[in-house]
Amino acid sequence: MLEGLVVIVTGASKGIGRGIAEYLVDQGVKLTVTSRKRERIEAAAAELRDRGGDVLAVAGSVGSQDHAIEVVDRTVERWGTVDGLVANAQSFRPTMPLLEVDESDMDVLFDTGPKGTLWFMQAVHPHMAAKGRGRIITFGTNVGITGGPGYGPYGAAKESIRSLTRTAAREWGCDGITVNCVNPASVAHRAPPDDDPDRLASYKALFDNHPMGRDGDPVSDIAPVIGFLLSDASQYVTGETFQVDGGGLMRP
């Protein structure tokens, strides 16, 4: 279903992005992985190659439009095409009340969130449109929907990504490109967050009255949904937000 596809995964050195990358190489996907720190993404790529993956690593800031263009150009140079984009990367800031948010907080989150996602979406578009087939997957967050205290700038950035997702789905559908967003629940790569009382409280509350009572696993819970959205099975699904959170959004 996925074997032979060429896919870019941003923010692939750890956490959800890393789990998705592992899943995809196991499915025979040719993979370009990116992250800000060169040593981390090179180490991740080496481990992915040890799993048998055909992997290209490119380091750089997701908030740079030049980086997005470089990643896509190098991907096409190596494999001749790009079939999918998994725009997972997003910098994070400490939780804080809205009254304490400053310009630098907003700049970091919006540069690496909606702006970085858009730069990658723009860069892959002509290659996907030229062959009439493409899959773009973006990432939101439930705290953008629920208004999680302390997560105002992060939630706002993620909601902007969801808006871009819907607009791209409408504008690029006739090009054969689907664009969907995933709201995952997988915070284990940051646990235990006991260095920050607000984050610790949010982490514990995440599973209070949770339908499944557990965190999402990046490889076995999150990545298979990404696989579906990259596949031909999702060819008539676009502009949607997928709550891959074990039903967590239903909590009262």
> 125: buried, middle or exposed (CB in 10 Å: 19+, 13-18, 0-12)?
buried
Q: Which of 23, 151, 154, 203 is catalytic?
A: 154
Nearest to 158 by CA among 105, 115, 190, 120: 115
Nearest to 188 by CA among 39, 19, 44: 19
Q: Is 154 a catalytic residue?
A: yes
On whether the CB atoms of residues 33 and 15 are closer than 8 A, the answer is no
On whether the CB atoms of residues 55 and 48 are closer than 8 A, the answer is yes
Query: Can you tell me which residue has the tokens 């263009």?
Result: 69
Token digits for 101? 């948010």
| Phi, psi of 163, deg, nearest 5 | -65, -45
The residues carrying an active-site annotation are 154
